[in-house]
A and B are shown apart, each in its own frame.
Chain A
Amino acid sequence: MTQLYIIGGYLVLLLMLGLFSNRLFKGTSKDYMLASHSIGPFLLLMSLFGTTMTAFALVGSTGEAFTEGIGVYGMLASSSGIIHSLCFFLIGIRLWSFGRRYGYTTQIQFFRDRLENEGIGLLLFPILVGLVIPYLLIGVLAAGAVINGVTIGAFDTAFARYDFGVPPWLGSLVISVIVLLYVFFGGMRGTAWANAFQTMVFMVLGIVTFFIISNQIGGVQAASEAVLEKHPSKMMREVPPEEHATYEEEFERWEVVAKYNWAKNQPEFAPEIKAALTEEKEKEFADEAASRPGPPFMRPFIQEALEAEYAKEQGLLNLSPEQTQIAKIEQDDRILPPEGQRAADWVNLPLAHFAQSDDWVKEALTTYADEIGHVRLEENKITRNAALGRYRVTHWAPQEPERMSFLLFVTYLLIPFSVGMFPHLFQHWLTAKSAGSFKLPVVAHPIFIMIVWVPCVLLGVWATSATYPGTERLIIPPHFPANAVLARMVSELTDDVLAGFLTAGVLAAIMSSLDSQFLAIGTMFTTDIVTHYTGEDRFTDRQKVWLARGFVILIVAVTYGCSLFEPRRVFILGVWCFSGFSSLFPLVFAAVYWKRLTAAGAYAGALAAIISWLWLFADSNFGLDAEYTFFGMMPVVPMVAAAIVAMVLVSLVTKPPSQATIDKFFALEAEK
């Protein structure tokens, strides 16, 4: 309950901040959307940083480091540190200048003017809003999951299906409503203040958590040495031969269990296995399993492994390669396509090639039905999540340590270019009081990324090998969901108060992105659609503010609806949505620096970007293939290449922009 009170208190504080900033609201749409261009360097830094750092900054970075090792910092964070500032410097300042001089509020206004074309807005509006929705979805879903995770057992009787915690759908709803309210009250000024406050909250709490947890697991040195001993591949980007050999031994043992579990249910093998495993033998294995160290729930699994090994020794598991592959797919709860739809070499494909089935959840809950209960009020009960964890540990194949692909590492550099086309960042850039306001964000952004990410990445890799003080028991078991690693470390190693505050910090990171996105899509609808097509004077300023709010509510409702139906794919969708924005980066870069860019070239570039995006997305089984690459590279590479080629070629063969437009946007270059 303590965590719930702290989270509640934090949300009330945010609402008060929104209300207070409302007192400074001037009542004009310009003030609501751009804070009357009044934002100085510090607020701009905090808003830009808070907006670009989503839930991924704290929760995702720890989870990714747990799965992939320290390489994720170079791949995701240091690249962002360089490229985000590059975008602020090369694109942000120029767009701010054009925005101030020609009165733009949105990207589409700029593109319409620069390209002397009305229709480009109708092409870009659905693309930009469509790409923002999955981004919003990540925040909304993550908020629900985080609140549920820390409130488990908070209620005595309510929400049994959610382990007596706040249901994810309710947490997502509350967070969406809170953000909507403070964005409505405070507009851009409230958003900038809330972002600054929330960014400070998650940075400070992240560092505090790092020190407390590292202390709990024996200090920074001991924690790193434990990883070097157990999982050295997490401390580099290669897999040492010894670690790979250990994995292969574990996999071989697991394969024997998979073959045994499959064969004992097949008429071809079952009678012989049954005959060999006499009651005496079974009792012998049960006794041996009971004598082994480890928690009691592992005993049936150990017994099964002993029986499988015995069956193998007796020559009872001589399965064909096809039968072996089917046995492994079933044991790992994966889906084998029907005959005729299988790849020619399906027998030799790794398990990761086959999609994971959802049926295992039901089976896991049935298996542990008697043990699931209220962990706070009943003795010896476990949560539903713990039951799922037990099932995974005892059924699924060991995780293979993998080297990080150098080509993926290099080509990931294109992903952070997405910030150049984020509609919400464009709007933040325009809030700057002066060009000088950009200096601090440009310089401090990479350093802030380092301050937040390095501790989280270290916590993630330490989690692979950290044990409870004085024991050999792992705090994070194998197959643990990556995005829940930080929450688990906090709940297991700190007290309720810190857990509550850290949750507030994670929610702060989530909300500081959601608020800007909500505001940006409302602004785009009012400015680029309503005002543009009905005329500047058709609505009063107050009516425009209400129209923006109405559209935001509609988009949030759509996003919230999506969050109830398709939560599985959302984190994968995140990288796809960033790739989409990155593929539009050549368009904004050319619009700002290349005089020869024409409207037809822009259409060609945007269409090439979005068509290649759709084609690759479909080819990746709509994001379900998490390992999807394009000839070993990030799929963003062909998208960006297609956009550049189409944009340049079509621009060169079409009529150049008018001299008036060139004078308007490139006067300084002409003088030089």
Chain B
Amino acid sequence: MNKVVWGLILLLVIIRNDYWFWGDSTLVFGFIPIGLFYQACISLAAGVLWYMATIYCWPTDLVEETKEAIQEEPAQ
């Protein structure tokens, strides 16, 4: 799943370059141009993918190791 999430993030970076909407001014919901609507959806998708990343790609080992190190020598 870790690789799938990173793959999806890479895909998001690629499809952010929406050349297919370059000359399209269709209004979505009667007021948002489709180029802007699509990019807003990219931002929402980024939020969803980063949420998945915090679940499936979280650096648990690093976090645990840090926690142990901090407990040995607590912060001031």
Residues from chain A with a CB closer than 8 A to the CB of B39 are 73-74, 77-78
B36 CB within 8 Å of chain A: yes
Q: A11 at interface (Cβ–Cβ under 8 A)?
A: no
**Are the CB atoms of B32 and A458 closer together than 8 Å?**
yes
List 23 interface pairs A-B (beta carbons < 8 Å), by A numbering.
A30-B75, A70-B33, A73-B36, A73-B40, A74-B35, A78-B39, A97-B63, A224-B27, A225-B27, A235-B25, A236-B24, A240-B23, A410-B17, A435-B63, A436-B63, A439-B58, A443-B54, A446-B43, A446-B44, A447-B43, A449-B43, A450-B40, A454-B32
Q: Which of A220-252 contact B (CB under 8 A)?
A: 220-221, 223-225, 228, 232, 235-238, 240
Checking A232, A236, A439, A457 against B21 with a beta-carbon cut-off of 8 angstroms, the contacting residue is A236
The answer to whether B66 and A220 touch across the interface, beta carbons within 8 angstroms, is no
Interface pair B50/A450, CB less than 8 Å apart: no
Known A-B contacts A73-B36, A446-B43; the reply to A86 vs B9 at CB < 8 A is yes
Cα A656 to Cα B31 with chains together (Å): 58
Known: A236-B25, A447-B43, A458-B32. A93 touches B59 (CB 8 A): yes
Whole-angstrom distance from the CB of B42 to the nearest CB of chain A? Answer: 5
Q: Interface residues, chain A, CB within 8 Å of chain B?
A: 26, 28, 30-31, 36-37, 70-71, 73-74, 77-79, 81-82, 85-86, 89, 93-94, 96-97, 100-101, 220-221, 223-225, 228, 232, 235-238, 240, 403-404, 406, 409-410, 413, 434-436, 439, 442-447, 449-450, 454, 457-458, 461, 667-668, 671
User: A181: shortest Cβ distance to chain B, in Å?
Assistant: 26
Distance in angstroms between the alpha carbons of A236 and B63 in the assembled complex? 45
Q: Indicate if the CB atoms of B47 and A100 lie closer than 8 Å.
A: no
Q: B46–A71 contact, CB under 8 A?
A: no
In contact, B54 and A237 (Cβ under 8 angstroms): no
Chain A residues whose C-beta falls within 8 Å of the C-beta of B50 in the assembled complex: 85, 89, 442-443, 445-446
Q: How many chain-B residues does the 8 Å CB contact rule pick out?
A: 44
Contact A236 B46 (CB under 8 A): no
Query: Smallest CB-CB separation from A28: which chain B residue?
Result: B76
Q: Is the CB of B40 within 8 A of A71?
A: no
Please determine whether A85 and B40 come into contact, CB atoms closer than 8 angstroms.
no
CB-nearest residue of chain A to B16: A78
How many Å lie between the Cα of A403 and that of B66 in the bound state? Answer: 50
Contact A70 B66 (CB under 8 A): no
Q: Does B70 contact A (CB under 8 A)?
A: yes
Residues of B4-54 whose CB lies within 8 A of A: 9, 12-13, 16-19, 21-25, 27, 30-33, 35-36, 38-40, 42-44, 46-47, 50-51, 53-54
Q: Are B13 and A82 in contact (CB under 8 A)?
A: yes
**Given known contacts A223-B31, A237-B22, A435-B66, is B36 in contact with A457 (CB within 8 Å)?**
yes
What is the distance, in angstroms, from B51's C-beta to the closest C-beta of chain A?
5
Decide: A236 and B16 in contact? CB cutoff 8 A. no
A100 contacts B66, CB within 8 Å? yes
Q: Could you list 6 further interchain pairs (A-B, Cβ under 8 angstroms) beyond the known A73-B36, A404-B22? A: A70-B33, A73-B39, A100-B66, A237-B35, A445-B50, A458-B36
How distant is the Cα of A327 from the Cα of B32 in the complex, in angstroms?
Answer: 42
Chain A residues lying within 8 Å of B59, measured Cβ to Cβ, are 93-94, 435
In the bound assembly, the distance between CA atoms of A73 and B41 in angstroms comes to 11
Known contacts: A235-B33, A668-B65. The answer to whether A406 contacts B17 by CB under 8 A is yes
Q: Give chain B interface residues in 54-76, CB to chain A under 8 Å.
A: 54, 57-59, 61-63, 65-67, 69-70, 75-76
